[in-house]
């Protein structure tokens, strides 16, 4: 005899990820590590900004290089003689908490106090996947067009710090940088928005002092 | 987009539960997908149909239920269904229907939930 049964599952993949992310944050807290999830489109300057911060900030910094081309990015970080793990996301369009947990195993967390996690270059897919980081820093650039913010509202609503990079070329690409700032404020009035250029150094001090403030909280 | 990895995780979840419940066949699977997950239900369904080949799930009816977006507005007191404009943008824009602001907290619409399954199983030995 066969019988038919209904089985309730209620397994939400997003919720499962959030739980893992919570555990990741606990691991970081136990090791006194402050962690920043760095999100943004391909080529917005995520790797360049992290490289600059490694040189300018007086902390023991570690990096999880999670962009699709992480081997290449990991090489850029390694030359600063800091702990770096490249995550091979392959064809995946976002990092998730499970992948990040694996990376922890390859990092000397006890000797790191600031951990940057460079997410996959994508303004949509990573939004729903918390990694367990303490803050999310979104890095976009004027060269992506000044309608970038309007078109990708969710990532800005979930950001703790927004960097609008490459303002040195704003005029050249015809982008209205102040419109981009205003668009972020419409979505998330309390978030700190910083205009920066890694070519001229504009905005860097402000980014550093914001990160320092978050670290003290 | 990440339909493939999501579909893969869903199939694994269902197979796991089906096996634990000694299913001989899975007849039906119901999955809830929030409107804001950016998962395309058509694409998801196609991938699920491919991934279930040669598994216990082969032939199961897969129901994908879209979950509408709900918000708490941060600008006014509104709570409930959101206005959504997905007409001319790649990503849906969510607005408060009361005040028109976009500074809102999203309370529903991000689900990616394997809700339940209907299985067939051999009658247990207990009443034999
Ligand atoms: N003009 C200009 N170029 C920049 C700036 N920041 C980064 N870049 C360049 O943009 C390109 C992509 O940067 P990268 O850090 O690899 O971007 P990622 O894909 O977000 O990691 C590189 O050629 C950088 O030199 C900036 O502020 N101004
Ligand atoms: Mg990079
Ligand atoms: Zn993805
Ligand atoms: Zn694993
Ligand atoms: Zn994706
Ligand atoms: Zn409102």
In tens, the pLDDT along A9-53 reads 999 999 999 999 999 999 999 999 999 999 999 999 999 999 999
- Tell if the CB–CB gap between A8 and B115 is shorter than 8 Å: yes
Phi first, then psi, for residue A48 (nearest 5°) are: -60, -40
Q: Which CATH superfamily is domain A13-216 in?
A: P-loop containing nucleotide triphosphate hydrolases (3.40.50.300)
Q: How confident is the model at residue A208 (pLDDT cuts 50, 70, 90)?
A: very high
CATH number for the region B3-121 comes to 3.30.2320.80
- Residue whose Cα lies nearest atom 18 of ligand 1: it is A43
- State the Rg of chain A over Cα: 18
pLDDT tens digits, one per residue of A80-111: 999 999 987 767 788 999 999 999 999 999 99
Distance A65 CA to ligand 2 centre (A): 8
Beta bridge partners of A61: A114
Q: Judge contact between A179 and A142, C-beta under 8 A.
A: no
Q: Is the ipTM of this complex over 0.90?
A: no
Domain boundaries, chain B: 3-121
Domain boundaries, chain A: 13-216
Distance from CA of A40 to the nearest CA of B (A): 15
Cα gap A154→A188, rounded to integer Å: 10
Question: Is the CB of residue A199 below 6 angstroms from any atom belonging to ligand 1?
Answer: yes
């Amino acid at each position: 005899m066969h019988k038919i049964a209904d089985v309730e599952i209620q397994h939400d993949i997003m919720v499962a990820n959030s739980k893992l992310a919570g555990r990741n944050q606990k691991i970081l807290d136990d090791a006194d590590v402050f962690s920043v999830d760095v999100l943004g489109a391909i080529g917005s300057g995520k790797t360049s900004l992290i490289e600059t911060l490694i040189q300018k900030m007086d902390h023991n910094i570690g990096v999880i290089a999670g962009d699709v081309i992480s081997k290449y990015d990991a090489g850029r970080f390694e030359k600063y003689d800091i702990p770096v793990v490249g995550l091979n996301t392959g064809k995946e369009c976002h990092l998730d908490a499970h992948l990040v947990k694996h990376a922890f195993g390859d990092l000397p967390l006890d000797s790191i106090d600031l951990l940057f996690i460079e997410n996959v270059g994508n303004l949509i897919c990573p939004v729903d996947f918390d990694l367990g980081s303490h803050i999310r820093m979104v890095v976009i650039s004027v060269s992506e067009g000044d309608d970038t913010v309007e078109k990708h509202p969710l990532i800005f609503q979930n950001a703790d710090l927004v960097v609008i990079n490459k303002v040195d070329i704003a005029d050249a690409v015809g982008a209205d940088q102040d419109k981009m700032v205003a668009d972020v404020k419409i979505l998330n009035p309390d978030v700190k928005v910083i205009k920066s250029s890694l070519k001229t150094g504009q905005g860097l001090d402000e980014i550093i002092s914001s990160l320092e403030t978050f670290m003290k909280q | 987009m990440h339909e493939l990895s999501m579909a893969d995780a869903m199939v694994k979840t269902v197979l796991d539960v089906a096996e634990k419940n000694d299913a001989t066949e899975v007849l039906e699977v119901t999955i809830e997908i929030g409107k804001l997950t950016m998962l395309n239900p058509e694409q998801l369904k196609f991938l699920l149909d491919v991934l279930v080949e040669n598994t216990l799930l082969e032939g199961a009816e897969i129901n994908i239920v879209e979950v509408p977006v709900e918000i708490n507005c941060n600008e006014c007191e509104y709570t409930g269904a959101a206005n959504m404009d997905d007409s001319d943008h790649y990503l849906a824009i969510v607005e408060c229907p009361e005040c028109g602001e976009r500074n809102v907290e999203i309370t529903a619409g991000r689900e990616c939930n394997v809700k339940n399954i209907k299985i067939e199983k051999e009658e247990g030995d207990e009443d034999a």
